[in-house]
Amino acid sequence: MKKLLTIILLTTVILSCKNKIKNIKTRFLVNEVPNNIPIDFKQDLVPNDKLIHKGAFSPNLEEYYYTISDKNFKQFDVYVIKKHNGKWSEPNRAFFNSTYSDHGMSFSPNGNSIYFSSTRPVNIDGISSTWHIWKSDKVNGKWNEPIFIDIPNLRNRLVSHPTIANSGTIYFHSSNLDYSEMDIYFSKQVNGVFEDAKKTSISVNSKVRRCTPYVSPEEDYMIFASIGNQLDLMISFSDGNGGWKNTKKLNNKINDMGQGNPYVTSDSKFLFFTTGEHLEKKWKVKWVNIEFELKNN
């Protein structure tokens, strides 16, 4: 009897795992789901003469946005594919894509706003021509025209790769116009207006530059790229007082040849990131189950 119960239990567990994997395949419309070893995600979207820089889903997983550039980094465009009758649509330029460069897109947790970085002109005296943050809101099912997000004390600096939390606080990286002194900043939102930005306080053992942050909606963890001889993905956890502690490099299965542009699905299950040697110029978006890393704080 005991042996029979064990067999029934094991069978139930196996069937449950198979059903979970089947459901994930259906949600992402893929044939393979990663465990703790990263695998490519829809590399067929990348033309041979182009580079992919970031991939991110809408919170409901119905749309997938990704950035493509030429190999000389002169033009960045954002494309989108959408689910239709159980299949992905053909790629189209995102509704906010312009004749200028657009990149670094990120949804608000509720999916009703999308933030991105763009070189389009701000047309405000005293603000430098460089990458700035823009935002579009969805009203009655339609996206409004993007508006410029003014970070008062960073008007003459490069500001890019926004990610926004439930609190309304926005995180991003900023640098001088020549890309020097790059680091991660945050700006709190008060009555719809963003305050002067402050540099994030991240505990690390060495002084490194940082970029392309992803912050969870609850602001309990942050994943970002550290800038050294190559990009490495790091994770840091909230100390409850606005700072970030227990910073560590993600495991070597993730960090193998230069990584950046992290994004985590709304269920905190899968990490998407871009990987590839800088000079190789054959970059890929990969995804991996990140649950163990998040629990292993």
Euclidean distance between CA atoms 172 and 253, whole angstroms: 26
Sheet holding 158-164, edge to edge: 158-164, 170-175, 183-187, 198-199
Token match 């795992």: residue?
A: 17
> What is the tens place of the pLDDT at every residue in 193-252?
999 999 999 887 667 889 999 999 999 999 999 988 788 999 999 999 889 999 999 999
Contacts 24+ apart (CB under 8 A), 288-295: 288/34, 288/35, 288/36, 288/37, 288/38, 288/39, 288/253, 288/254, 289/34, 289/35, 289/36, 290/264, 292/36, 293/235, 293/250, 293/251, 294/221, 294/235, 294/268
- pTM here is 0.90
Whether residue 292 has pLDDT greater than 60? yes
Domain ranges of the chain: 1-33, 34-295
- Indicate whether 10 pLDDT > 70: no
pLDDT grade for 13, boundaries at 50, 70 and 90: very low
Q: What is the CATH number of domain 34-295?
A: 2.120.10.30
**pLDDT at residue 237, as a whole number:** 94
44 phi, psi to nearest 5 deg? -65, -10
Q: In this structure, what DSSP letter does residue 202 have?
A: B
pLDDT in tens, 29-75: 888 999 999 999 999 999 988 999 999 999 999 999 999 999 888 99
